[in-house]
């Protein structure tokens, strides 16, 4: 390609490359260099890649789009925490755990997930006070396990079985059971029925 | 050929340069405040005007349109005159351009602080200011074209090609994306809804990056870099190829902001492939800049102007590589919604735009003040502090992003989310946020040093308002045997038209089908219009800029559906004017917040307490308090008109609903008030908080209901 406007040839002294004549803009000159080869190849490769991509994904549809990817991901793990959903709130034979390790684990879960409604000491704000001698869903350990597992979503207590394992639920329930009678400051007024 | 004498207008250049520095400092300081608010939410000061959601648009708009915008005008007004060998077409237009732009900036800042926003990123301005922007932009284009037409040079230099592309494309983007129907002077609804609004918005948003932050700055590079280095441009042919490739391809890449969203797959694919194919056209600019410096590297060591330029161009090369990588599904799956995006944006803003702007100012102010830079060592100090600032800014954010997405996606052996409480993934980032704030702080220190240096330069100089120059008038000569492109360079109007066509193609091919082909947005029968109360609540959500921290777009990953619920469907957003998908998550996604059997459900009383004082419920929360919502009265005088506009936009409210809408609103509000009362909270139905709660409790409900009806994958 000849892009010189006229034929007189000027060279850049430092690089000894051809300057384009007639290309002078407020003192700025331009060299007549070719496109760098690596750059051309980069460009061509990316365009080829782009065309192939569209054919693979959208014309022949041989690679999965996001919906199929999601299906595959879920199929691969076989339901994940949903397996837990099947877990009935079976409380038969449960006894409150008292080992320190269980209580510590329970407290950790409590601090992560429960205090946003029951507050750190269990004194209640959005959720009921768990330290007093009243309860909506029952005061026993099994009752606590049950409400944590199945929840009462319409009242604002979700079911935690999709976010906590059975063991974690038992631990946190055991921890909750220890809150009773702790008298934290600013308790929420009693709700539900008195415990026997 | 007789030489004509004429005068360059340096005064307008000086004005824009001062405005650049002024707004630069302000925009950056607001940015620093935001960075600190993400560590200490109390820095919102408990008043609406300074909360995160309201000042983030001030920061982004101030940096983009005030700092970089004025910087761009400075550079263009100086170089255009010299490249055309002509004074600006009209001094009056120059003045209107300048004062109009500053007025827009002031109005923007005030209106954002007051919560007047459209709720679309970088396009938040309400309609009256949008119109003003369009008018001032036309004034700028008119002035530029007038100058080009009366030029004394035969051909247009590559810098001017970029200026022209900037002008036409920004005009189209701004007008198309801003079309809205006013409710009143301070509030409007975009005509687009949901997926379509998202696509138009990110077509705009991405190309604001392309044609406001990239093309004009490439133009500036093409003028100031060879000037400062006193070297010829490396390759004219490369200029041609990368210019046209860049403007043609950039416009297609918008959907890369919407990967793994409810946008149709074909549109996502186009966004991905065009982004990747953009690496070479973008790097063309970098290569042409850096190779122009061959033989001048010794100067780079001495001259702060060149140092700033080298880092700017390198940062440009980095972010134009990183961007395409972030557009691939693999990287986007993890980087999106994290602070990676923010880090990426700042490599561009601080490195490319900021440093190029400083280079231009350091180069040009001493010239128009006929003096030398007051202190080279101070400029060098600015350079180093700024560079370290950029590193301290970006690296912690990348680190934080990696930390956060790992936590979002980590499962226990039993198949549960390891971090089911979103907040834990935020608390983990606080040290990184501190480092980022330090980086930003350093950058500001550098800027202030630069400001001081430039003030002293100006003080010691002698301003040349009217700079005499002379050149022969342009006479038509024959250009036999010239290439087609050479011809185009002599003919600005055809040039403009070709550039216009180049940018129109991509936009039309992506956007139009989304309107015409129904299957792109499959409807969901159970998705119903918002009730009047929810609509009002939604408008408050938009007003407060909740979208600056919260997304409303669950992505089709196990880690997302486990945390939030069913992934996003195009059909669920059809009544959303504007869409509120968000672009990063400092807080959890909210699009499933109202699903009673969902994972996130909270009772009304929780929301009430939480909006009043998030830290009362989550001590570590970084969400600001919105306690004024509890006291402020909801303005229901707008309801009938809002309903009518929605009807006009195709939302199927029954005929005459506008007349009973407020009755409906009050009934629903009373229900929430009654429920709160049972929880021991006394309030009245006419408070804003009630509307916000109603809206939050609606989110996701309809898609969930679709479970029972038809046509959609069941919720688990």
Residues A5-53 pLDDT 10s: 445 688 998 888 999 988 999 999 999 999 999 999 999 999 999 999 9
State whether residue B599 sits within 8 Å of chain A by CB.
Answer: yes
Q: Do B601 and A158 touch (CB under 8 A)?
A: yes
Tell whether A27 is covered by a domain. no
Domain with B423, as residue range(s), is 7-511
Tell whether B522 is covered by a domain. no
d(CA A164, CA A170): 10
Q: Do B233 and A29 touch (CB under 8 A)?
A: yes
Q: Do B483 and A66 touch (CB under 8 A)?
A: no
Are B562 and B668 found together in one domain? yes
Q: How many other β-carbons are positioned within 10 Å of the β-carbon of residue B616? A: 14
Position B523 scores a pLDDT of 86
- Print burial letters for B539-575: b (CB count within 10 Å at least 16), e (below 16): bbbbbbbbbbbbbbbbbbbbbbbbbbbbbbbbbbbbb
Residue of A nearest to B241 (CA): A35
Tell whether A120 is covered by a domain. yes
Q: Do A30 and B236 touch (CB under 8 A)?
A: yes
Are B380 and B481 found together in one domain? yes
State whether residue B325 sits within 8 Å of chain A by CB.
Answer: no
CATH of the domain at B618: 1.10.760.10
Are B134 and B165 found together in one domain? yes
Tell whether A80 is covered by a domain. no
Q: Do B237 and A34 touch (CB under 8 A)?
A: yes
Q: Nearest CA to CA, how far is B64 from chain A (Å)?
A: 29
Tell whether A40 is covered by a domain. no
The residues facing B184 across adjacent strands are B187
DSSP A161: T
Position B222 scores a pLDDT of 97
Are B552 and B676 found together in one domain? yes
Residues in chain B within 8 Å Cβ distance of A155: 603
Q: Do B605 and A156 touch (CB under 8 A)?
A: yes
Tell whether A18 is covered by a domain. no
Tell whether B521 is covered by a domain. no
Q: Do B557 and A70 touch (CB under 8 A)?
A: yes
How many interchain CB pairs under 8 A, A with B? 197
Q: Which residue's entry shows tokens 């994306």?
A: B177
CATH of the domain at A167: 1.10.760.10
Q: Nearest CA to CA, how far is A78 from chain B (Å)?
A: 10
Residues in chain A within 8 Å Cβ distance of B287: 36, 39
Please say whether the beta carbons of B614 and B624 come within 8 A.
yes
Please say whether the beta carbons of B457 and B374 come within 8 A.
yes
Q: Which residue's entry shows tokens 């704030």?
A: B437
Position B479 scores a pLDDT of 77
Torsion (CA) B487, B491, B496, B497 in degrees, nearest 10:
-70
Residue of B nearest to A74 (CA): B558
d(CA B308, CA B288): 16
Q: Quote the tokens at residue A133.
A: 């001698």
- Among B232, B560, B595, B700, which would you mutate to test the A interface (most chain A Cβ atoms within 10 Å of its Cβ)? B232
Considering only CB atoms, A50 lies closest to which of B231, B277, B411, namely B277
Please say whether the beta carbons of B491 and B499 come within 8 A.
no
Residue of A nearest to B563 (CA): A163
| Residues in contact with B31: Cβ distance below 8 Å, sequence separation at least 6, in sequence order | B59, B63, B440
Radius of gyration of chain B (CA): 26
Residues in chain A within 8 Å Cβ distance of B602: 117, 126, 156
Q: Do A26 and B83 touch (CB under 8 A)?
A: yes
pTM, full prediction: 0.94
**Packing angle between helix B91-113 and helix B127-149, nearest 10 degrees?**
160
Residues in chain B within 8 Å Cβ distance of A165: 412, 414, 416
Are B595 and B480 found together in one domain? no
Tell whether A164 is covered by a domain. yes
Q: How far is CA B518 from the centre of its chain?
A: 29
Tell whether B111 is covered by a domain. yes
Number of domains in chain A: 1
Q: Nearest CA to CA, how far is B124 from chain A (Å)?
A: 31
Residue of A nearest to B82 (CA): A26
Taking residues A141-154, what's their average pLDDT?
A: 93
Position A87 scores a pLDDT of 55
Q: Nearest CA to CA, how far is B226 from chain A (Å)?
A: 7
DSSP three-state, residue A96: coil
d(CA B707, CA B324): 37
Are B488 and B540 found together in one domain? no
DSSP three-state, residue B587: coil
Nearest to A191 by CA among A113, A136, A122, A148: A136
**Strands, E, within B64-184: which ranges?**
180-184
Longest dimension (CA), chain A: 108
Q: Do B679 and A26 touch (CB under 8 A)?
A: no
Window 127-166 of B: residues touching A by CB (8 A cutoff) are 153, 155, 157, 159
Q: Quote the tokens at residue B585.
A: 């998550």
Considering only CB atoms, B274 lies closest to which of A50, A69, A163, namely A50
DSSP B115: T
Tell whether A39 is covered by a domain. no
d(CA B599, CA A161): 10
Number of domains in chain B: 2
Are B452 and B597 found together in one domain? no
- Among B76, B280, B672, which would you mutate to test the A interface (most chain A Cβ atoms within 10 Å of its Cβ)? B280
Q: Nearest CA to CA, how far is A69 from chain B (Å)?
A: 8
Return the percentage of chain A with pLDDT > 70, whole number: 90
**Mean pLDDT in runs of 10 for chain B (716 residues)?**
91 98 98 98 94 97 97 98 97 98 98 96 96 98 97 95 96 94 96 93 92 97 96 96 96 94 94 96 96 93 96 96 96 96 96 98 97 96 98 97 96 92 96 97 98 97 95 82 90 95 88 76 90 98 97 96 94 95 96 93 96 95 96 96 96 95 97 95 96 97 68 38
Residues in chain B within 8 Å Cβ distance of A158: 597-601
**Packing angle between helix B430-460 and helix B355-368, nearest 10 degrees?**
10
d(CA B468, CA B6): 6
Tell whether B555 is covered by a domain. yes
Q: Nearest CA to CA, how far is A29 from chain B (Å)?
A: 5
Considering only CB atoms, A50 lies closest to which of B236, B276, B618, namely B276
Considering only CB atoms, B234 lies closest to which of A33, A66, A163, namely A33
Q: Do B236 and A26 touch (CB under 8 A)?
A: no
State whether residue B674 sits within 8 Å of chain A by CB.
Answer: no
Rounded to the nearest 5 percent, the helix, strand and coil shares of chain A are 45, 10, 45
Residues in chain A within 8 Å Cβ distance of B617: 115-117, 125-126
Window 618-637 of B: residues touching A by CB (8 A cutoff) are 618
Tell whether A23 is covered by a domain. no
Are B262 and B358 found together in one domain? yes
Please say whether the beta carbons of A132 and A190 come within 8 A.
yes
State whether residue B605 sits within 8 Å of chain A by CB.
Answer: yes
Position A81 scores a pLDDT of 54
Tell whether B352 is covered by a domain. yes
- Among A3, A38, A46, which would you mutate to test the B interface (most chain B Cβ atoms within 10 Å of its Cβ)? A46
Are B494 and B577 found together in one domain? no
Are B392 and B495 found together in one domain? yes
Residue B314 burial class via C-beta count within 10 angstroms: exposed 0-12, middle 13-18, buried 19 and up: middle
Q: Do A49 and B283 touch (CB under 8 A)?
A: no
Residues in chain A within 8 Å Cβ distance of B274: 50
Considering only CB atoms, B287 lies closest to which of A15, A36, A66, namely A36
Residues in chain B within 8 Å Cβ distance of A126: 602-603, 605-606, 609, 617, 679
Q: Do A158 and B680 touch (CB under 8 A)?
A: no
Q: Nearest CA to CA, how far is B287 from chain A (Å)?
A: 9
Are B424 and B573 found together in one domain? no
Residues in chain B within 8 Å Cβ distance of A36: 235, 238, 287, 291
d(CA B53, CA B155): 47
Position B190 scores a pLDDT of 96
Tell whether B716 is covered by a domain. no
- Among A63, A126, A159, which would you mutate to test the B interface (most chain B Cβ atoms within 10 Å of its Cβ)? A126
Q: Do B237 and A23 touch (CB under 8 A)?
A: no
Are B414 and B327 found together in one domain? yes
Q: Do A54 and B238 touch (CB under 8 A)?
A: no
Please name the helix (run of DSSP H) or strand (run of DSSP E) that holds residue A194, with its range, or none.
strand A193-194
From B511, B546, B568, the end of a domain falls on B511
Q: Quote the tokens at residue A93.
A: 């034979």
Domain with A177, as residue range(s), is 100-194
Nearest to B137 by CA among B69, B207, B210: B69
Position B714 scores a pLDDT of 37
- Print burial letters for B414-453: b (CB count within 10 Å at least 16), e (below 16): ebbbebbbbbebbebbeebbebbbbbbbbbbebbbbbbeb
Q: Please say if the pLDDT value at position A67 is more than 90.
A: yes
Q: Please say if the pLDDT value at position A1 is more than 50.
A: no
Query: What ipTM goes with this model?
Result: 0.91
């Amino acid at each position: 390609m000849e892009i010189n406007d006229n034929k007189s040839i000027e060279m850049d002294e430092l690089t000894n490359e051809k300057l384009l004549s007639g290309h002078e803009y407020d003192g700025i000159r331009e060299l007549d260099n070719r496109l760098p080869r690596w750059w051309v190849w980069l460009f061509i490769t990316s365009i080829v890649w782009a065309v192939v991509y569209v054919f693979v994904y959208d014309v022949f549809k041989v690679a999965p789009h996001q919906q199929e990817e999601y299906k595959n991901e879920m199929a691969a793990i076989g339901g994940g925490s949903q397996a837990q959903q099947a877990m009935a709130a079976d409380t038969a034979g449960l006894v409150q755990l008292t080992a320190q390790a269980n209580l510590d684990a329970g407290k950790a879960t409590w601090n992560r997930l429960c205090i946003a409604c029951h507050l750190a000491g269990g004194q209640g704000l959005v959720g009921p006070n768990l330290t007093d001698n009243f309860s909506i869903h029952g005061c026993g350990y099994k009752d606590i396990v049950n409400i944590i597992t199945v929840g009462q979503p319409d009242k604002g207590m979700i079911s935690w079985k999709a976010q906590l394992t059975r063991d974690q639920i038992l631990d946190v329930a055991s921890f909750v059971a220890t809150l009773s009678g702790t008298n934290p400051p600013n308790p929420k007024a009693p709700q539900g029925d008195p415990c026997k | 050929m007789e030489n004509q004498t004429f005068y360059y207008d340096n005064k307008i250049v000086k004005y824009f340069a001062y405005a650049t520095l002024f707004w630069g400092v302000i925009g950056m300081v607001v940015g620093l405040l935001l960075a600190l608010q993400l560590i200490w939410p109390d820095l919102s000061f408990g008043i609406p005007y300074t909360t995160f959601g309201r000042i983030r648009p001030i920061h982004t708009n101030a940096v983009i349109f005030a700092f970089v915008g004025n910087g761009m005008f400075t550079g263009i007004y100086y170089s255009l005159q010299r490249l055309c060998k002509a004074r600006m077409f009209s001094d009056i237009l120059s003045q209107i351009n300048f004062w109009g732009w500053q007025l827009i900036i002031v109005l923007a800042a005030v209106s954002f602080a007051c919560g007047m926003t459209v709720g679309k990123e970088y396009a938040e301005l309400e309609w009256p200011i949008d119109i003003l922007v369009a008018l001032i932009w036309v004034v700028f284009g008119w002035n530029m074209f007038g100058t080009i037409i009366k030029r004394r040079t035969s051909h247009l230099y590559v810098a001017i090609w970029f200026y022209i592309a900037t002008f036409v494309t920004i005009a189209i983007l701004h007008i198309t994306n801003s079309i809205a129907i006013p409710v009143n002077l301070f509030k409007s609804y975009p005509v687009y809804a949901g997926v379509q609004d998202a696509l138009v918005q990110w077509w705009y948003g991405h190309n604001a990056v392309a044609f406001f932050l990239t093309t004009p700055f490439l133009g500036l590079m093409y003028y100031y870099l060879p000037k400062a280095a006193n070297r010829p441009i490396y390759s004219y042919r490369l200029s041609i190829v990368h210019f046209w490739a860049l403007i043609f391809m950039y416009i297609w890449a918008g959907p890369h902001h919407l990967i793994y969203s409810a946008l149709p797959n074909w549109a996502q694919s186009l966004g991905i492939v065009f982004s990747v194919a953009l690496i070479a056209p973008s790097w063309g600019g970098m290569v042409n800049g850096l190779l122009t410096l061959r033989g001048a590297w010794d100067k780079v060591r001495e001259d702060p102007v060149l140092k700033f330029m080298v880092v700017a161009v390198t940062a440009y090369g980095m972010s134009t590589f990183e961007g395409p990588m972030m557009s691939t599904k693999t990287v986007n799956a993890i980087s999106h919604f994290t602070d990676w995006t923010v880090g990426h944006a700042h490599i561009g803003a601080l490195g490319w735009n900021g440093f190029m702007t400083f280079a231009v100012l350091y180069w040009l102010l001493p010239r128009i003040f006929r003096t030398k830079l007051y202190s080279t060592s101070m400029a060098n100090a600015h350079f180093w502090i700024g560079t370290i600032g950029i590193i301290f800014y970006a690296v912690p954010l990348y680190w934080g992003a990696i930390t956060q997405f790992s936590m979002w996606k980590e499962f226990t052996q039993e198949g549960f989310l390891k971090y089911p409480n979103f907040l834990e993934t935020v608390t983990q980032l606080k040290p990184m946020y501190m480092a980022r704030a330090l980086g930003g702080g350093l950058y500001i220190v550098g800027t202030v040093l630069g400001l001081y240096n430039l003030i002293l330069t100006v003080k010691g100089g002698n301003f040349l308002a009217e700079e005499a120059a002379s050149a022969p008038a342009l006479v038509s000569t024959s250009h036999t045997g010239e290439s087609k492109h050479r011809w185009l360079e002599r003919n600005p109007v055809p040039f403009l038209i070709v550039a216009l066509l180049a940018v129109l193609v991509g936009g039309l091919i992506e956007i139009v089908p989304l309107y015409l082909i129904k299957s792109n947005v499959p409807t969901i029968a159970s998705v119903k219009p918002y009730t009047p109360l929810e609509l009002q609540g939604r408008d408050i959500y938009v007003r407060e800029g909740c979208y600056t921290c919260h997304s409303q777009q669950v992505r089709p990953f196990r880690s997302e559906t486990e945390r939030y619920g069913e992934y996003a469907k195009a059909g669920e957003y059809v009544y959303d004017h504007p869409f509120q998908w968000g672009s990063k998550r400092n807080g959890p996604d909210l699009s499933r917040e109202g699903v009673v059997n969902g994972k996130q459900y909270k009772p009304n009383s929780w929301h009430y307490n939480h909006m009043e004082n998030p830290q009362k419920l989550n001590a570590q929360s970084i969400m600001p308090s919105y306690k004024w919502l509890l006291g402020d009265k909801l303005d229901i005088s707008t309801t009938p008109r809002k309903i009518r506009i929605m009807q006009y936009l195709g939302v199927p409210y029954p005929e005459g609903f506008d007349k009973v809408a407020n009755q409906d609103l009050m009934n629903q509000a009373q229900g929430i008030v009654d429920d709160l009362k049972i929880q021991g909270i006394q309030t009245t139905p006419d408070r804003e908080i009630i509307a916000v709660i109603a809206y939050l409790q609606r989110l996701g409900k309809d898609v969930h209901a679709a479970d029972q009806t038809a046509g959609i994958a069941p919720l688990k």
